[in-house]
């Protein structure tokens, strides 16, 4: 069916074809099992963090408020791509409607930008906690925390809708086959039969604003944090300050490291298949690793998970085989 679309320039497109990662029939069950498992691990891990934070009064602090919102964004981020991919593998169908493609792209960009913005907000929270500890409760009040999350959401919606408008300007396509497992905006622009130089410039400008500016905020926050830590006289105080930032720094390096890696691999590589494989790291692996980063490196989260497990699962001995060790 897709071959009928390959000749000539196309207008009034009603559907696209997601080529996925491989056409090999023998690999389809493996890909289905692998991605379904990664999706379930991601959703369950992030849900456990959200439930642990909301159920434990000790975690009703700004840092864990932002963490629960980050977990929610990760669930939405991975849910825009993997479920559709697994359904396509199971039904042996690669078709996605034009409206469905634009919707998936918008939601994907929204949650990706939310991840970016929330990590920036969390860096500011750590800056206030370490550099202004005596005024932390006054500065990071509930009203400010909700305002920061709201602003992050507004900026994320703005970026996703601007990307939508850019793609909607394309009235003619030379093909309908997208060399990926989701509707990547850069892939859609590559299918345009008209000159997309202006659109690409606008997308690069958006990437600079919504990528570089939050990263600059994170760097500035940690510059101030490092300057403050250097004035701490005891090694114990320095270790405590570093330990509170360790999980956040790991998540930042993971997000920007994989994102920049995928961007440069797409720019250098001319193979659509390699681009699709590289995007798996950014869209699937990163949301899956975040719960492990924050739970394994955070003693408070492990305590809260233990309490939640003890309250939820009866008898309590069912929790012990997982080997959770509570620190004092």
Tell me: pLDDT of 4 over 50: no
Closest by CA position to 58, among listed 295, 297, 304, 308: 304
The three-class DSSP label of residue 96 is: strand
Helical H runs in 13-97? 28-55, 62-79, 82-91
Report pLDDT for 274: 65
Task: For 156-256, list the strands marked E by DSSP.
Answer: 177-178
Taking each helix axis from N to C end, the angle separating 98-131 and 213-229, rounded to the nearest 10 degrees, works out to 20
Q: How far apart are CA 86 and CA 32, in angstroms?
A: 6
The three-class DSSP label of residue 16 is: strand
Q: What is the pLDDT of residues 190-212, one digit of tens each?
A: 777 766 677 777 777 777 777 77
Contact between 272 and 180 (Cβ < 8 Å): yes
H or E segment to which residue 112 belongs: helix 98-131
Q: What is the pLDDT of residues 209-246, one digit of tens each?
A: 777 788 888 889 888 888 887 776 655 555 655 666 77
Catalogue all structural domains in the chain, each as residue range(s) with its CATH number.
2-293 (1.20.1070.10)
Structure pTM? Answer: 0.83
Q: What is the pLDDT of residues 140-175, one digit of tens each?
A: 999 999 999 999 999 999 989 888 888 887 767 777
Closest by CA position to 93, among listed 147, 12, 15: 15
Q: What is the pLDDT of residues 250-292, one digit of tens each?
A: 788 877 777 666 666 655 555 556 667 777 887 888 888 888 8
| Joined tokens for residue 204 | 């690069």
For residue 260, what are the CA distances in angstroms to 42, 66, 180, 209? 22, 24, 18, 15
- Tell me the pLDDT band of 314, cut-offs 50, 70 and 90: low
Contacts of 180 (CB under 8 A, 6+ apart): 18, 19, 20, 187, 272, 275, 276, 279
């Amino acid at each position: 069916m897709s071959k009928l679309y390959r000749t000539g320039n196309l207008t009034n497109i009603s559907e696209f074809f997601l080529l996925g990662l491989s056409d090999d029939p023998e690999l389809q069950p493996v890909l289905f099992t692998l991605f379904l498992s990664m999706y379930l691990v991601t959703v369950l891990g992030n849900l456990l963090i959200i439930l642990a934070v909301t159920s434990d009064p000790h975690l009703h602090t700004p840092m864990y408020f932002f963490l629960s919102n980050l977990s929610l964004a990760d669930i939405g981020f991975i849910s825009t791509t993997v479920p559709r991919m697994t359904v396509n593998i199971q039904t042996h169908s690669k078709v996605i409607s034009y409206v469905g493609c634009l919707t998936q792209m918008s939601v994907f960009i929204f949650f990706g930008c939310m991840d970016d913005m929330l990590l920036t907000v969390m860096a500011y929270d750590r800056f206030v906690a370490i550099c202004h500890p005596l005024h932390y409760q006054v500065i990071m009040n509930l009203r400010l925390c909700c305002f920061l999350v709201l602003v992050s959401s507004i900026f994320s919606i703005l970026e996703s809708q601007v990307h939508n408008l850019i793609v909607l300007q394309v009235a003619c396509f030379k093909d309908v086959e997208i060399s990926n497992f989701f509707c990547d905006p850069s892939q859609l622009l590559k299918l345009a039969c008209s000159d997309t130089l202006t659109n690409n410039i606008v997308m690069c400008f958006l990437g600079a604003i919504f990528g570089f500016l939050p990263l600059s905020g994170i760097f500035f926050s940690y510059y101030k944090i490092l300057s403050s830590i250097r004035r701490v006289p005891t090694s114990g105080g320095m270790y405590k300050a570093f330990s509170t930032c360790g999980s956040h720094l790991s998540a930042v390096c993971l997000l920007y490291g994989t994102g920049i890696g995928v961007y440069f691999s797409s720019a250098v590589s001319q193979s659509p298949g390699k681009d699709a494989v590289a995007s798996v790291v950014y869209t699937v692996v990163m949301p899956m690793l975040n719960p492990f980063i924050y739970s394994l490196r955070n003693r408070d989260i492990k305590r809260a998970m233990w309490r939640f497990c003890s309250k939820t699962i009866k008898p309590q001995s069912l929790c012990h085989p997982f080997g959770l060790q509570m620190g004092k």
